[in-house]
Amino acid sequence: LPKDIYPHFCITPHNLFPMCDACQEKKGAKTGSAVDPRFFLHPYFDAFTANQVVKLTINAPFNAPTFSLAAAPGLTVPQASLVISHLRELAIEERYGHYFRGEHLRLLRLVGKMRTYNQDVAAGVENFRDMHVQKSPNSWEHVFFDSVMHNVLLMHYLIHEPLPAFL
């Protein structure tokens, strides 16, 4: 609950949780209504966030892809609605586009090195994904590598197609 509207709740433990400055600014003093009671995920109350709740889609062309975020499959309708609201209200897709572009470029460079040393690209990407799930299934690193692993066309590109010359 925003402290500007509910100052008496500003220091209660359930109302205090870490949030980056950019998200806090986007969140502002938004509160829900009877129709839409919540806009944001809450790490204490939303136990379903113990599992991956965000799905990243990486779209071709893979030398300069675009990225989109959605609720992960398998969520209930209310859970998916809350995840979509959270992504929209905090402008996550537009704010994290640069992050995903950077991760993709880093991935292309890693794949280039793996190919140079005749390493298994699919196993390498799977190892990166599994390494990051330990932090959280909703860490941006895990979401990214999970998306790569589940994108058949991207994996084919990484394993078989020529990589960009600018690497």
What percentage of the chain has pLDDT greater than the value 90? 72
- The pLDDT value recorded for residue 11 is 83
CB 148 within 8 A of CB 155: yes
CB atoms within 10 A of CB 107: 21
CA 123/CA 126 separation, integer angstroms:
5
CA 92/CA 69 separation, integer angstroms:
8
What mean pLDDT is predicted for residues 7-27?
Answer: 82
pLDDT grade for 147, boundaries at 50, 70 and 90:
very high
| Cβ partners under 8 Å of residue 55, min gap 6 | 69, 70, 71, 72, 73, 143, 147
pLDDT grade for 13, boundaries at 50, 70 and 90:
confident
Is the pLDDT assigned to residue 18 strictly greater than 80?
no
- The pLDDT value recorded for residue 162 is 96
What percentage of the chain has pLDDT greater than the value 70? 100
- The pLDDT value recorded for residue 81 is 95
- The pLDDT value recorded for residue 3 is 81
Per residue in 49-82, pLDDT (tens digit) is: 999 999 999 999 999 999 999 999 999 999 999 9
| Residue in the structure block whose two tokens are 């995840």 | 83
Per residue in 26-53, pLDDT (tens digit) is: 888 888 778 888 889 988 889 999 999 9
Question: Could you tell me where the DSSP H helices lie in the chain?
Answer: 21-27, 77-89, 92-116, 121-133, 140-150, 152-160
Q: Where is average pLDDT lowest: 2-6, 51-55, 96-100, 132-136?
A: 2-6
CA 129/CA 52 separation, integer angstroms:
12
pLDDT grade for 132, boundaries at 50, 70 and 90:
very high
